[in-house]
Structure 1
Amino acid sequence: MHVLVFDSGVGGLSVLEQLQQRNPNMQYSYLFDNLYFPYGELDDQQLITRVVELLTKAVNKFNPDLVVVACNSASTLSLPSLRETLSIPIVGVVPAIKSAANKSITRHFGVLATPGTVERSYTEQLIADFAKDCRVELLGSTLLVQLAEQKLAGESIALEDVKQALASWLLFDDLDCVVLGCTHFPLLKDEIQQVLGERVCLVDSGAAIANRVHSLLSTNEALNLSQKKAEAHAYCTMHPANSSLLKQLQAYQLSSLQLFT
């Protein structure tokens, strides 16, 4: 079985890691659209058109059994169009607001995402559906996305920058849960936890996505049959500026990085 994992940058690696742990025998392709990174700053229609065109091309090339759109910005906008265009299952990532509402004791939690995600009606609807009895803080940060990319590329990041991004939340003494509503943010989980303190529970969608993929593909008899050794390869839409990226990708069992054309 072959799963295509897609994001605008390296944030989707946090989802890929969960997928590999839950489904270690599958083949994986990781495609990141660094030519158009970051997606959170694109016009809505531009983002939809780009994602549909790129993933249609990628599905034709890689012939995967399932696609994971490991990007909150892309998922909240492009899933309907993708499902109309592609015939294979599409699994999206949405902020884990339901999980946070279930975990929060104080009924006061935060949603940390890209500016585009926190402003979209999709996020508002998730809050209305699953957290209407909670006080929900919304915070959009492009800086944290950039810091996550830098960290994975092997560059050092300053904890003070993370603190600056989260400064407005440090004033709350009863915020007990934070949704990592961008797949980049689990890459900064240690730094975010250090800034917010251990009393704050961090929630992301990675494990839930891995379980969903398993449930969709486990009914396929081929999943239980012997197959070639699991492999994972990375593809980008523009040559990365940082040459150490391949070394960092290898930590996620990605054995190669190629240009997707």
Structure 2
Amino acid sequence: MTNELKPVLMFDSGIGGLTVLREARVLMPERGFIYVADDAGFPYGGWEEEALKARILSLFEKLLKDHDPEVCVIACNTAFTLAGADLRAAFPHMTFVGTVPAIKPAAERTRSGLVSVLATPGTVKRAYTRDLIQSFASRCHVRLVGSQNLARMAEAYVRGEGVADDAVLEEIRECFIEMPDGRKTDIVVLACTHYPFMANVFRRLAPWPVDWIDPAEAIARRARSLVPSVSDAMHPENQDFALFTSGNPDFPTIRLMQGFGLTVR
């Protein structure tokens, strides 16, 4: 029976989706996982929208044919807010779990009414993001902060490379607002799956304590709800692996994947 279980495919522009993989494994221990990193296209922030959309659709045409997963988790805000609807239209028989900025829970939790969304430039400019604000956070002051460099910094950080505090602070500084009446930003949405890797650095450098919302657990819960549970199935041996679109990840990346229990193919 174990061999009959289809794997879960997790897609990200780089290694940020590992934050989601970590949570998904806890909830779906019986499933194998295929982690796909589009490192040849990373970072997505500099792409023209139509070119990036075409790239993502082309990648999935081959991925679905080659691996026939149970479900696909798009662990990338930029990819899903841009191409999620097109993926579902192009591959109607596949279930896609998307990643969108956690604006709704932020609006529900905030006490000051001041929320910041720390994202990539692509996610910040997307109409999808602004629609979420209009639908769920119209009574809040939501500041969108698009970082050009933070995803790359997070990739370097998780590989064990040094990242300067001043450089990180420059990327997150705009998230913090203090109003004349004394109200301050109290929630920052981490709207890129790379960013939670640096959450402890953000907490240390923040000018005051805030709630940093990491969407990984919610994404994993959603995926679990859509994947049939097989109680007596065992996790398949040697079935968790990572694919890199460049075909040539460096040694620190390979070592990182191995630390997450993934072989690199």
Give yes or no for TM over 0.5. yes
1:115-194 equivalences under 5 Å are 115-170=121-176, 172=178, 174-194=184-204
Contact 1:11–1:185 (Cα < 8 Å) also in 2: yes
Could you say which residue in structure 1 is the equivalent of 2:236? 229
Q: Deviations over 1:147-196 (max 9, x none)?
A: 01111222121222111112233453610000000111111111111122
- What secondary structure does 1:49 align onto? helix
**SS of structure 2 residue aligned to 1:165:** helix
Gaps of 5+ in 2: none
What is the alpha-carbon distance in structure 2 between the residues aligned to residue 84 and residue 144 of structure 1? 32
Pairing partner for 1:42 from 30, 47, 51:
47
What is the root-mean-square deviation in Å for CA atoms of aligned residues? 1.6
In the alignment, the residues of structure 1 paired with residue 13 and residue 250 of structure 2 have an alpha-carbon distance, to the nearest angstrom, of 16
- For 2:240 and 2:208, how far apart are their aligned partners in 1? 34
Is the alpha carbon distance of 1:197 and 1:249 closer, same or farther for their aligned partners in structure 2, counting shifts above 3 Å? farther
Tell me, yes or no, if the aligned pair for 2:10 and 2:75 is still in contact at 8 Å: yes
Change (3 A) 1:216 1:196: same
Equivalent of 2:32, from 4, 27, 48? Answer: 27
Q: CA deviation at 1:29?
A: 0.3
Q: Report how far residue 226 of structure 1 moved.
A: 2.1
- The structure-2 alpha-carbon separation of the partners of 1:15 and 1:197, relative to structure 1 and needing over 3 Å to count, comes to farther
- Structure 1 residues 228 and 95, CA, compared in 2 at 3 Å: closer, same or farther? closer
User: Which structure 1 segments of 5+ residues have no match?
Assistant: none
Mark the CA change 1:167 to 1:25 in structure 2 (over 3 Å): closer, same or farther. Answer: same
Q: Does 1:7 align with 2:12?
A: yes
- 1:249 is matched with 257
Match of 1:106 in 2: 112
User: Does 1:97 find its partner at 2:103?
Assistant: yes
Match of 2:70 in 1: 65
After superposition, residues 78-97 of structure 1 pair within 5 angstroms as 78-86=83-91, 87-97=93-103
With structure 1 as the length reference, what TM-score do the two structures score?
Answer: 0.92
Give the distance between the partners of 2:258 and 2:36, measured in 1 at CA: 15
Cα distance in structure 2, aligned partners of 1:81 and 1:119: 18
Runs (4 or more) in structure 1 with deviation over 4 Å come to none
Moved more, 245-254 or 86-95: 245-254
1:70-114 Cα distance to aligned partner (Å, 9 max, x none): 110110011111111221100110000001111111010100000
Q: In the alignment, residue 177 of structure 1 is paired with which amino acid?
A: I
1:224 CA displacement: 2.5
User: Conserved in 2, the CA contact under 8 Å of 1:95 and 1:204?
Assistant: no
| Pairs aligned (count) | 254
